[in-house]
Amino acid sequence: MLYTHASIITVNEKRQVILDGAILVREGSMTIDDIGKTADLTAKYPNEPETNLQGHIIMPGLISLHVHLAQSLLRSAADDLELISWLCDRVWPMQGNFTEEDGYVAAQLTIAEMLKSGTTCFVEALFAERYGFQGAVNAVVESGIRGCLGKVVMDQPRYATQSGISMHPGLIEDESSLDKVLECHEKFDGLGDGRVEVWFGARTPGGVTEDLYRRMVTVAREKNIGITMHCAEIKADREFFATKGHTPMTYCQELGLLGPRTVLAHMVHLDDNDIEILSKTEASMAHCPTSNAKLGSGIARIKECVDKNVTVGIGCDGCPCNNVMDLLQEMKLASLLPKAVHQKSDIVTAETIIEMATIQGAKAIGHSETLGSLEVGKKADFISINLSDKIYGVPMRDPVSAVVYIATGNDVETVVVNGKVLVQNGELLTMNEKEIIRKAQIHGEEVRERTGIPTGGRWEKV
């Protein structure tokens, strides 16, 4: 198939934008077979079927570096709360009442929303045993998306500096969680034509003993298993590190966490030395601006990290702390917040944000050789965004600017992963959207009722 007449943001080494461009993906191919000007490719491949994307912007599929699949059933159930009460009073109790069927429905709902808004690859942060890991794997395989599925590793049932047990009993796991990840890795890693990866989803420091962290890191490096972990999200996290005589990055460095394919989420409360340490490692950062703002956690020091060449990607986090899984919206906020903080409009530019959501994300998960840019031989993972018929999208001048500052997930019309069309004309082809919505409404309310959480909002409903 030739996808023609689009403006193509390649994110290749030269960072070229091809106007009136085309991409060739031959039938049965998982990779890009050719890319260039439409006139050149149509002349070169006269018998190839054509999909005319006149007025569309084609770009690499978006990579969301921090996602909670299960939390879509918790959407709008924990608004306007600070993180620890948000966790202990709402999120953990609801998740602690999940069934495996709830976990599968939630994974479907989250993935469907991500695909329709242009995310083609994601990192799941903390999939608990009780959610049913097989369901998450099935949802990835069936949908066609790429998923790095972080299965929880923990042995301490509390958050940061809290004492005693603060986690809901339904979520508590012990050091055997490490072996359970390895069992899942042996069983599921590589399924779906390589789209499924099983990662370690380590709980936030304070939720894992140093001994278990070290054991996890040793196995991860031996087997090339990715690690993802929340880190330095709120001030209480930094206080926890101080009780250990550390800052966030000196602690992670001592435990050996700062290696390739380690994705550290949030990283709001870093000092200059933390950023300097991080910049000298192959670990990366998942920036979640909406979640950090909504929970009152703070604003990550993105400008400083970018200036130090830290690998920074972007993540939507979860539906109770963002409410939507639209990475295009996240990209806009990721650019705007540093400008406001530093009172400087020419930093963290649209071009930098595009890199974060594509090639930097690919680098973070260890796949920059195959993902993150549109080049011959790379995986055929791309999306098309159509602003040409939108009153807010014209006149169209710079496709890069338009993607970051104008587009939302509602403007995504085409999604291709591994050469397979998953979304066409804005419609999901691999999932039954209406059935997912129906089941999610039922399961979400059942979870809330089992937990006894109020319906939400501060105003009386009559």
Q: What is the reported pLDDT for 52?
A: 98
Cα Rg, the chain, nearest whole Å = 21
Query: What is the token pair recorded at 457?
Result: 């909002």
Where the chain has pLDDT below 50, the residues are none
Peptide bond into 60 cis (omega under 30): no
Q: What is the reported pLDDT for 458?
A: 86
How, if at all, do strands 412-417 and 420-424 pair?
A: antiparallel
Q: What is the reported pLDDT for 337?
A: 98
Cα gap 224→300, rounded to integer Å:
28
The DSSP code for 261 is: T
Residue closest to 259 by CA, chosen among 362, 371, 364: 364
Q: What is the reported pLDDT for 83?
A: 87
Q: What tens digit of pLDDT does each residue of 139-167 get?
A: 999 999 999 999 999 999 988 877 778 89
Structural domain 2-60+379-428, CATH architecture: Roll (2.30)
Question: Between the CA of residue 64 and those of 118, 120, 177, 459, what are the distances in Å?
Answer: 10, 8, 25, 34
| List of residues 6+ apart from 101 with CB closer than 8 A | 132, 135, 443
Class of domain 62-365: alpha beta
In the chain, residues under CATH classification 2.30.40.10 are 2-60+379-428
Is residue 66 classed as helix, strand or coil in its secondary structure?
Answer: strand
Q: What is the reported pLDDT for 460?
A: 86
In the chain, residues under CATH classification 3.20.20.140 are 62-365
Return the axis-axis angle of helices 327-342 and 350-357, rounded to nearest 10°: 140
- Alpha helices (runs of H) in 117-157, residue ranges in sequence order: 133-143
Q: What is the reported pLDDT for 456?
A: 78
Q: What is the reported pLDDT for 297?
A: 96
Cα gap 218→212, rounded to integer Å:
10
Query: What is the token pair recorded at 2?
Result: 């030739």
The DSSP element (H or E) to which 427 belongs, if any, is strand 427-428
